[in-house]
């Protein structure tokens, strides 16, 4: 398809004798939210780390906007527009929102020895970008430590979007959040999608996935079990797939149909 | 105002005000004349140069307990260059800084490569460098732990006046002639200039504050100390930042060594004894957290001034000078409690 930003074909990843991924195919289009579901240990983390350039695939091919690509480092993936927001967020609680926002990519003005951190621009930009996401900061030098978990997620997402992400990978963004904060983060995901960015949402919470997802891919034991579009699959079916599908059914039989 | 209340150096500034009030009441009025001011600013400056280096390193998330020994060690290197080897200042001074930076980078490399706490690594170097200074001095002098004759060796060098003595003597004579400052009966000024260490101290404090608050590197220092993993995930060159800070701290010690060696004309293996603790205490009073990622260079500046005022101020009072040590410990305790409170407020921890 024309607007596929990332296309991963039959990705395999072996760590020595351990086969973490045994052929995963996955793609992301611009402006969609593609949910990657799976139980613990299904290979979700390994897969997104491969996508983000942390791991290199043992076999399989990866295309970015139609061109075959191999990322040697996370930095290369970032430069290609693939941004990852990990669970631990890469935020520093003692530092201000603004300083976190621009950490490692500080805007500078002036030349040579007079090159300096552009505080005014940084503060205004951080405030503006956060307002776009629906968060009104009291002041640009408010410490990240004073924000709630959901707001911190939003800072991380806003940062990735501002620095030109085309694909945003969110690793379990809702796993540690309460009900209302989860709703806020999912609303942010919806907003990001509408800007034409492809969102990859990793979760094992089917409810959260169904709330925002356009497509759903289920991963089990390092393999994709298939991809479904929104409206083609029910919560129960997804849950079954995640838990192992057929195996689950036979397990239920052997226990006399009580599971 | 609310923003000022949140600055890390608030505590140290309040401390300076309190100490000033205290001595305003108890001390002889001569403490707050120009001469008295220079008297307490001079030791404050020597400590402050170290404290600002220590503060930057602490904000970057590391410690250096070896700076005191580093003063003796780089003092030995400098003394040996000038006296024993007869190398002119224009080469000896840069060589001493390069040497100190190299020792600092050894500290840093060990910490970064092994992942050991810098506390332990630099504690080892506290003893190693002190021991090497003793051994080295005996070797350079043929048995003594003091190396004299620096003043004769540097006689007439322009650089000697940049690193020792008083600055702007002309200005002070000019002021004295017009009766703008206190003079002796013969008309010469009581204060002949600003001791150079004070000028270095102020310049370093300004430069460090500028770097911390107004450059990308400053952001990297805060980030490296706040969470090294998060920082390097975001593209901050954490190792480079930390290594440079270790080298910078060692260079601060070398600067103090050069100033004191040139001023006293000799170097001594006991130079800088326990200065590492005083420097860290001044940094903590200045608002640096022991866990890194938070603090200020201006805070360390005020912290060092508090030290100088108390150390010298007590001689202007009837109070026994040994109360200084009690004060040192007490001040540290109060500062740590205060900082803890600030950190909780900033991070919203409860």
Give B319→chain A minimum CA distance, Å: 41
Residue B299 pLDDT level (bands cut at 50, 70, 90):
very high
> Which of B214, B231, B343 has its CB closest to that of A119?
B214
Give B3→chain A minimum CA distance, Å: 9
**pLDDT of residue A247 exceeding 80:** no
What's the pLDDT at A251? 57
Residue B180 pLDDT level (bands cut at 50, 70, 90):
confident
What's the pLDDT at B348? 64
The overall average pLDDT reported for chain A is 85
**B223 and A92: CB-CB below 8 Å?**
yes
What's the pLDDT at B38? 92
Asked if B275 contacts B45 with a C-beta cutoff of 8 angstroms, the reply is no
For the stretch B208-263, pLDDT in tens is 999 999 999 999 999 999 999 888 878 889 999 999 999 999 999 999 999 999 99
* Residues of A whose CB is below 8 A from B288: none
For the stretch A141-200, pLDDT in tens is 888 888 888 888 889 899 989 998 899 999 888 887 888 888 888 998 998 999 899 999
User: Which of B97-101, B231-235, B295-299 shows the lowest per-residue confidence on average (mean pLDDT)?
Assistant: B231-235
Asked if B9 contacts B285 with a C-beta cutoff of 8 angstroms, the reply is no
Residue B34 in tokens: 């120009």
What's the pLDDT at A1? 47
Residue range B187-194: average pLDDT? 83
Q: In this predicted complex, what is the ipTM?
A: 0.82
**pLDDT of residue A14 exceeding 60:** yes
Q: Is the pTM of this model over 0.90?
A: no
Q: How many CB pairs under 8 A join A and B?
A: 83
User: Which of A242-246, B134-138, B255-259 shows the lowest per-residue confidence on average (mean pLDDT)?
Assistant: A242-246
Residue B339 pLDDT level (bands cut at 50, 70, 90):
confident
Residue range B329-349: average pLDDT? 81
* Residues of B whose CB is below 8 A from A143: 346-348
* Residues of A whose CB is below 8 A from B227: 90-92
The overall average pLDDT reported for chain B is 90
What's the pLDDT at B148? 87
Residue A133 in tokens: 């996401």
Residue B350 pLDDT level (bands cut at 50, 70, 90):
very low
Neighbours of B300 (CB within 10 A): 38
- Structural domains of chain A ordered from first start: 4-94+164-233 (3.40.50.300)
Residue A23 in tokens: 């052929």
For the stretch A57-107, pLDDT in tens is 999 999 999 899 998 888 788 888 998 888 766 788 889 999 999 988 889
Asked if B72 contacts B266 with a C-beta cutoff of 8 angstroms, the reply is no
Q: In chain B, which residue's Cα lies nearest the Cα of A139?
A: B3
Interface test with B, best of A75, A95, A112 (most B CBs within 10 A): A95
The number of residues making up chain B comes to 350
* Measured CA distances, A171 to A37, A45, A168, A204, A211 (Å): 11, 8, 10, 10, 16
How far apart are the C-alpha atoms of B129 and B136, rounded to whole Å? Answer: 10
For the stretch B56-82, pLDDT in tens is 999 999 999 999 999 999 999 999 999
- Structural domains of chain B ordered from first start: 8-21+31-344 (1.10.3470)
Work out the burial of residue B182: count CB atoms within 10 Å of its CB; fewer than 13 is exposed, 13-18 middle, 19 or more buried.
Answer: middle
**A108 and B233: CB-CB below 8 Å?**
no
Give B121→chain A minimum CA distance, Å: 26
Percent of chain B whose pLDDT exceeds 70? 97
The two most distant CA atoms of chain A are separated, in Å, by: 77
């Amino acid at each position: 398809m024309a607007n596929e930003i990332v296309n991963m074909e039959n990705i395999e990843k072996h760590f020595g004798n351990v086969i973490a991924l045994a052929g995963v195919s996955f793609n992301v289009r611009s402006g969609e939210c593609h949910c990657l579901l799976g139980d613990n240990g299904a290979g979700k983390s390994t897969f997104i780390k491969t996508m983000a350039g942390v791991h290199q695939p043992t076999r399989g091919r990866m295309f970015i906007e139609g061109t075959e690509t191999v990322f040697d480092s996370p930095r290369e993936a970032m430069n290609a527009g693939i941004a990852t927001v990990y669970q631990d967020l890469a935020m520093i609680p003692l530092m201000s929102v603004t300083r976190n926002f621009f950490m490692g990519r500080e805007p500078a003005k002036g030349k040579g020895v007079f090159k300096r951190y552009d505080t005014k621009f940084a503060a205004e930009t951080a405030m503006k970008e956060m307002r776009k996401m629906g968060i009104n900061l009291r002041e640009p030098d408010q410490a990240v430590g004073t924000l709630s978990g959901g707001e911190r997620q939003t800072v991380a997402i806003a940062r990735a979007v501002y620095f030109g992400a085309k694909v945003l990978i969110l690793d379990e963004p809702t796993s540690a959040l309460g009900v209302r904060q989860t709703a806020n983060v999912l609303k942010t995901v919806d907003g990001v999608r509408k800007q034409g960015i492809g969102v990859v949402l990793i979760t094992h919470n089917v409810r959260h996935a169904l709330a925002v997802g356009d497509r759903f891919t289920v991963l089990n034991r390092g393999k994709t079990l298939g991809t479904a579009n929104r409206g083609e699959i029910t919560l129960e079916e997804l849950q079954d797939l995640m838990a192992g599908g057929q195996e689950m059914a036979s397990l239920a039989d052997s226990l006399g149909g009580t599971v | 105002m609310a923003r000022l209340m949140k600055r890390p150096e608030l505590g140290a500034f309040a401390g300076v005000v309190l100490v000033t009030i205290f001595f305003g009441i108890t001390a002889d009025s001569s403490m707050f004349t120009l001469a008295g001011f220079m008297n307490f600013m001079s030791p404050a400056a020597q400590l402050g140069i170290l404290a600002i280096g220590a503060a930057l390193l602490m904000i970057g998330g590391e410690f250096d307990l070896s700076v005191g020994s580093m003063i003796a060690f780089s003092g030995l290197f400098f003394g040996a260059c000038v006296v024993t080897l007869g190398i002119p200042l224009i080469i000896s001074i840069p060589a001493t800084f390069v040497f100190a930076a190299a020792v600092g980078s050894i500290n840093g490399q060990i910490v970064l490569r092994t992942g050991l706490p810098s506390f332990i690594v630099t504690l080892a170097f506290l003893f190693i460098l002190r021991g090497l200074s003793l051994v080295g001095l005996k070797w350079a002098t043929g048995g003594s732990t003091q190396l004299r004759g620096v003043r004769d060796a540097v006689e007439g060098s322009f650089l000697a006046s940049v690193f020792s003595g008083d600055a702007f003597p002309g200005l002070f004579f000019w002021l004295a002639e017009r009766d703008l400052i206190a003079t002796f009966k013969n008309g010469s000024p009581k204060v002949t200039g600003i001791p150079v260490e004070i000028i270095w101290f102020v310049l370093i404090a300004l430069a460090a504050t500028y770097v911390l608050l107004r450059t990308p590197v400053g952001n990297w220092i805060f980030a490296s100390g706040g969470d090294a993993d998060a920082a390097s995930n975001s593209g901050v060159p954490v190792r480079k930042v930390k290594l440079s800070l270790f080298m910078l701290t060692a260079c601060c010690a070398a600067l103090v060594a050069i100033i004191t060696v040139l001023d006293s004309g000799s170097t001594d293996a006991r130079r800088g004894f326990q200065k590492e603790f005083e420097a860290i205490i001044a940094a903590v009073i200045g608002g640096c957290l022991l866990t890194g990622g938070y603090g200020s260079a201006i805070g360390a500046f005020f912290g060092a001034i508090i030290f100088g005022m108390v150390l010298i101020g007590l001689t202007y009072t009837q109070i026994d000078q040994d109360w200084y040590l009690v004060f040192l410990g007490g001040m540290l305790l109060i500062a740590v409690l205060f900082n803890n409170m600030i950190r909780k407020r900033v991070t919203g921890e409860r």
